[in-house]
Amino acid sequence: MTTKVQYIVDNLGNKISVVISYSDWEKLNLQYQKLLNKLDILEGIKDSILEIRKSRKEGKKLQTLTDFLNKSRS
């Protein structure tokens, strides 16, 4: 994706804003949303792994996938 970028600068020449086309903004925003979704999934996996490790150290029994699925069907 080639994006035409325009900068708005202050009196000292410091960049203070960026202007891009709306269609480019929509594409960037969609990519950003997809990355946020991936991050949520990865953080969930990480939290699950940490919970499993903690439970194993404490000797707690975790619910099996089969048990979970059987309960969700009821």
The answer to whether residue 40 scores a pLDDT higher than 80 is: yes
Domain range summary for the chain, segments of one domain joined by +: 23-60
With vertex at residue 26, the alpha carbon angle to CA 36 and CA 30, rounded to the nearest 5 degrees, is 25
Task: Report the residue count for the chain.
Answer: 74
What predicted TM-score, i.e. pTM, was given to this entire model? 0.64
- Separation of alpha carbons 62 and 73, rounded Å: 19
Q: Using DSSP, state whether 15 is helix, strand or coil.
A: strand
DSSP secondary structure string for all residues of 27-50: HHHHHHHHHHHHHHHHHHHHHHHH
- Whether 74 shows a pLDDT value over 90: the answer reads no
